[in-house]
Amino acid sequence: MEEIEKLLREIKKFYKKEGRSHLPWRNTHDPYKILVSEIMLQQTQVDRVIPFYNRFIKQFPTSKTLAKAPLGEVLKTWQGLGYNRRAKYLWEAAKIIAQEGFAGQKLPGVGPYTAGAISAFAFNKPEVFIETNIRTVFFHFDISKYKKTRKISDKELLPLVAETLKRSKMQPRDFYAALMDYGASLKQNGVKLNSRSKHYTKQSKFEGSARQLRGALLRELLKSSANKAQLIKKFSPARSRGEIERELTKFIAEGLLTFSRGRYAVAAK
């Protein structure tokens, strides 16, 4: 297909001149470090992730050091990055990896994309996967040839990614890095096409959201345990009793908090 050849010419040219080789996770093939980066990059911008990644890897340089750490310490290091369940998933995954390695393991928080990215970037395997920047590139070059009024599924795009990878003659880790870097550049230059995807959802605003309240509650409880009355007093009237109770209940269900003798605390294990 002519469109694939055009795409490959463009991404190879761009990658050679402007590839993001400065990204710290690009300078390692360690699957643990790549897992950390991929979990952090879920729903978070690259530039925001870099300092958190560097700090996290300094604190927990291996899966074994992370696996041995108390959950509270992990959450403190994660603070400010948001979506704290990701930190717990990563901590749980480290426990599995430390004992059994990566091969064939079902890891918490790791879906098809993350598993594919680890295979490509750590092990250089020709896995086929899609994420937001890859979608942008394929929509930009209109390789799918679908009407622009119709939403396109990843299932429809995956064969095109596979064909492009095959034709590229590139190492898988370089192919995906080039695609992602080019897609990120398109977005920075105002090319926003992911609304054409069936999987596109617009992120809700942070101010006043449950995400904001969850972060505030966790920060408070990382300082010390507290009872419900103390937490309601701390966050009212900006947040209602019902909102606070709902998020505390969710935290317990997720294993991030415990409730004992009338007090909430960050889970120890």
Q: What confidence tens digit (pLDDT) does each residue in 162-181 have?
A: 999 999 999 999 999 999 99
The band of 269, judged by pLDDT with boundaries at 50, 70 and 90, is: confident
Cα 262 to chain center, whole Å? 34
- The DSSP 8-state label assigned to residue 80 in this structure reads T
In CATH terms, are 2-196 and 210-266 the same topology?
A: no
Whether the Cβ atoms of residue 66 and residue 60 lie closer than 8 Å to each other: yes
Whether the Cβ atoms of residue 143 and residue 1 lie closer than 8 Å to each other: yes
Residue with tokens 């990055």: 81
Question: What pLDDT sits at residue 149?
Answer: 58
From residue 257, give the alpha-carbon distance in Å to each of 179, 191, 216, 264: 39, 41, 14, 7
- The DSSP 8-state label assigned to residue 81 in this structure reads S
Q: Per the residue annotation, which of 2, 5, 18, 38 is the catalytic one?
A: 38
Determine the topology of domain 2-196 in CATH.
Endonuclease III; domain 1 (1.10.340)
Question: What pLDDT sits at residue 104?
Answer: 67
Stated pTM of the model:
0.90
- When the candidates are 1.10.150.80, 3.30.200.20, 3.40.640.10, 1.10.10.10, the CATH number that belongs to 210-266 is 1.10.10.10
* Cβ-based neighbour number of residue 163 at 10 Å: 14
Q: What is the pLDDT of residues 43-91, one digit of tens each?
A: 889 999 999 999 999 999 999 999 999 999 999 999 999 899 999 999 9
**Residue 38 annotated to the active site:** yes
* Domain residue extents for the chain: 2-196, 210-266
